[in-house]
Structure 1
Amino acid sequence: MKVKICGLSTEATMEAALDAGADMIGLMFFPKSPRHVTLSQACKLADMARGRAEIVAVTVNMDLDGLSRIRELVGPDIVQFHGSEPPEACAAVKVMHGVKVMKAVAVSERADLEQAQFYSIVADWILFDAKPPKGSELPGGNGVSYDWSLLKDLDLAKPFMLSGGLNPENVVEAIRQSGTRALDVSSGVEREPGVKDETLIRAFLAAAKGANVSGS
């Protein structure tokens, strides 16, 4: 079971995630998000994670100049596109920067899964997240979920990751319903928006990894 802890912004919570076995860590580059980090902060956090977990730069409709600066200064392993970026934008960054690409797809019903097929041609990962609540300025990290069973037996050319409304209490059930082998969590391990909780991070990772070992 691969687990990504997203929206990390402090050294203490980064260390908690790495120590507890996170496979990926997400750094948020979106000023409207309470989890946003500056390039300077991101460089320090990425240095902590390098060689211990894959570093994911989470972006939302960012221009090529911004993406280039992140690639040059932070050196992520994966660039995550969490906005309305078309497949060709994902492909361009992959070719230009030689980096893996993850594309988020917003889900509320089965028909929403169809757009993942277009992105799976160029993306290395597809992340299925819940559609944001009406009026939200954040495309993700809203703490809302969807019918996880929509992903059961999904036939997709690339690996996918489940996100949206996950927390230590429901993650085992989410794995059972979806059949996923990869998870992404952000708000579900926070004590308030943007403030990660080390205890919740460890609890989530223990539950997720334990579910995999037990075959749940």
Structure 2
Amino acid sequence: MHVKFCGFTQLSDIQTAAQLGADAVGLVFYPPSPRAVTIEQAQTLSAAVPAFVSVVALVVNMPKDELVKLANDVPFDIIQFHGDETPEQCEQLASSVNKRWIKALRINAEQDTPDSVRAQIAQFADAGASSILLDAYHQAAYGGTGQRFDWSLIPHDSALPIVLAGGLDAQNVAETSNLPIYGVDVSGGIEVDKGKKDAAKMRAFMKAVKRDRWQNATVTDAI
């Protein structure tokens, strides 16, 4: 189980996340978000990320010229497309800056089924995505709502590794251990306020994930 902490605005929080062993940190480049950062903030935050920890740039319907500028100014590793981008648009935008990318799909329990989610994932796989992120649908927001969707809609034979987001925290992340996912993405569940992380919550989250890793490894070894 890989862990991405997202929505950083504070340097000390980035440093804590790295010390705790987070696999990736996310920076939000979507001005309407309360967790959005400027180019200048992102430069300072990304400079504090050690080697082997990925910096993920979260963008929402960002035009090509803005993405090119962002890539020239901020040393990030992966693009997370979190808007209405089509598979073709994601591929074209990512190619313009030579970056790997993932796509966030907002899952709507009233419309989606495991088959429809599987089909959407396949389209992004064909376009070159490295992974897919599944988050809860909200009619007024693109993400970061802290809401959880129906996990029974997660397909078991996805064409891409699945990262689960939406309403996760240290208390419920253990429930994800048997899901067909590659990693988890958390923002609000480790915060004291939007964009400001809580060190104790980050530590508790990582402890819960590592406990599951150890238990799963023990079961596998026993088998």
Normalised by the length of structure 2, the TM-score is 0.89
> Corresponding residue for 2:78?
78
Letter in 1 for 2:180: G
Q: Which stretches in structure 1 are left out of the alignment for 5+ residues? A: none
SS state at 1:44 partner: helix
- Aligned residue pairs total 211
1:145 corresponds, among 141, 144, 148, to 148
Quote the offset at 1:50 in angstroms: 4.3
C-alpha deviation, 1:208, in angstroms: 1.3
Write the letter of the residue equivalent to 2:134: F
AA at the equivalent of 2:198: D
The answer to whether the Cα contact below 8 Å between 1:28 and 1:59 also exists between their aligned partners in 2 is: yes
Q: Is 1:26–1:57's contact at 8 Å kept on the other side of the alignment? A: yes
C-alpha distance in 1 between matches for 2:134 and 2:49: 24
1:135-214 paired onto structure 2 within 5 Å: 136=140, 138-151=141-154, 153=156, 155-176=157-178, 178-214=179-215
Distance 2:50 2:21 in 1: 14
User: Residues 46-92 of structure 1, C-alpha deviation per residue, up to 9 Å, x if partnerless?
Assistant: 11114141010000000011111111111211001000001111111
Give the % identical residues.
36
Task: Note the C-alpha offset of 1:149.
Answer: 2.9
After superposing on structure 2, the runs of 4+ consecutive aligned residues of structure 1 that deviate more than 6 Å are none
Most deviating of 204-213 and 2-11:
204-213
Residue number in structure 1 paired with 2:69: 69
Deviation at 1:148, TM superposition (A): 1.6
Q: Which moved more, 1:189-198 or 1:179-188?
A: 189-198
Greater C-alpha Rg: 2
Report the alpha carbon displacement of residue 98 of structure 1 after superposing the two structures with TM: 1.6
Distance (Å, rounded) in 2 between the aligned partners of 1:100 and 1:143: 26
Code of the residue aligned with 2:60 in structure 1: it is: V
| SS of equivalent residue, structure 2 residue 26 | strand
Q: Which residue of 2 aligns with 1:131?
A: 137
Decide whether the 8 Å contact of 2:46 with 2:55 is kept in 1.
yes
Distance (Å, rounded) in 1 between the aligned partners of 2:210 and 2:69 = 34
Structure 2 distance, partners of 1:50, 1:57, is 16
**Contact persistence 2:13–2:197 (CA under 8 A):** yes
Asked if 1 retains the 8 angstrom alpha-carbon contact of 2:10 and 2:195, the reply is no
Which structure 2 segments of 5+ residues have no match? Answer: none
Spell out, residue by residue over 1:18-40, the C-alpha distance to the aligned partner (whole angstroms, 9 max, x if none): 10000010000011111000000
Name the Cα RMSD after superposition: 1.5
**TM-score scaled by structure 1?**
0.92
Q: Is the 8 A contact 1:5 1:185 kept in 2?
A: yes
